[in-house]
Amino acid sequence: MRFSEACERNKEPILHVLRQWLPPQARVLEVGSGSGQHAVHVVRQLAGVQWQPSDRAEYLADLRERIALEGREGLAPGAQLADPQELDVDRAEQWPRGPYEAVFSANTTHIMEAASVPCLLAGAARVLAPGGLLLLYGPFLGGGVPTAPSNAAFDAHLRSLDPAMGLRDAQAVNEQALSLGLEALADEAMPANNRTLVFRKRGAAVG
């Protein structure tokens, strides 16, 4: 079963942001759930949250194993953790219908190809309820420039592995999101030179 040291380090700061932004009893789609550590941690801490983990087909076996072993006990009151589903952001037919109050994704935009980032944003815009939130966690560039030496080194490393990978510019993501009806609400500073970008789907919130 996969285990991510990064997830273990950042799960509490991410939980703090989710607690701040998610409405009560939010239905949340997590894109790129990976090891499932964030999913399990959130449903154990946030009462009433309904969490839908997802990932590409090649990562589902480990994700399902963690959910089966750890995701059915010790949940916060009213919290629910759904069975993981397959989701490749490039394949529109794999996106669930929703609606969701939030879409969350951690450490994915710099791993997926640059051309897939607009697909992630567009998919989120489709499945979010009016007024719903998209939260993207990870390292980002600022005006095309790394915000810290560690981010510059990480970006160079990723591009050496695959030129299609690399840190994305937060301003460019904001502009892409806005063109899809997602307006930027916040840019939360996180530990280790990471950030959480928060967007809201235009329209009045349901309920």
Would you write out the chain's pLDDT as a tens digit for each of its 207 residues?
776 677 788 899 999 999 999 999 999 999 999 999 999 999 999 999 999 999 999 999 999 999 999 988 899 999 999 999 999 999 999 999 989 999 999 999 999 999 999 999 999 999 999 999 999 999 999 876 667 888 899 989 999 999 999 999 999 999 999 999 999 999 999 998 999 999 999 875 543
* pLDDT for position 8: 81
* pLDDT for position 142: 83
Handedness of CA 73, 74, 80, 83 (dihedral sign): negative
**Domain 5-201 adopts which CATH fold?**
Rossmann fold (3.40.50)
* pLDDT for position 206: 43
Q: Domain residues of the chain, as ranges?
A: 5-201
Tell me the whole-structure pTM to 2 decimals. Answer: 0.93
* pLDDT for position 3: 66
* pLDDT for position 7: 73
Give the pair of three-digit tokens for residue 173.
């993501």
* pLDDT for position 71: 86
Q: Which 8-state DSSP code applies to residue 165?
A: -
Give the pair of three-digit tokens for residue 179.
């063109």
* pLDDT for position 205: 57
Q: Which of 135, 115, 151 is nearest to 199 (CA)?
A: 135
* pLDDT for position 207: 39
How far apart CA 207 and CA 168 sit, in angstroms, is 34
Query: Burial of 24 by CB count in 10 Å (0-12 exposed, 13-18 middle, 19+ buried)?
Result: exposed
